[in-house]
Amino acid sequence: SAKPGGAGMALTSSWLQTEVWKPFQTLTLPDGRRLDYHDMGPATGAPVLYSHMGYCMARWHEPMLKLAFQNGLRVICPIRAGYGQSENIDPKA
């Protein structure tokens, strides 16, 4: 079956809005801390680590997401410690 952004299939605005606002995911680190991240683009795309330096611009706008899908880029955006559910390292560590 065709996937959004695949050859011969146009991305719709409603699908893109859903992609923009999908929930963050959480990773539990080896020391038990949580790290939120936002995953954008095709899951099988070439991975790109994107650092936004804070909490803003973690979610890309529709035109940027459309380009990620068209170019086969999976953009992984970690949410820095102290924002969202991402936890700071213990000061005693």
pLDDT at position 20 over 90: no
> Which DSSP letter does residue 87 get?
P
- Please tell me the pTM assigned to this model: 0.74
E-only strand ranges, the chain: 25-28, 34-40, 46-49, 73-78
pLDDT score, position 71: 97
Encode pLDDT of 1-18 as tens digits: 334 544 444 555 688 888
Encode pLDDT of 64-93 as tens digits: 999 999 999 999 999 888 777 888 877 777
Cα 46 from Cα 68, distance rounded (Å): 10
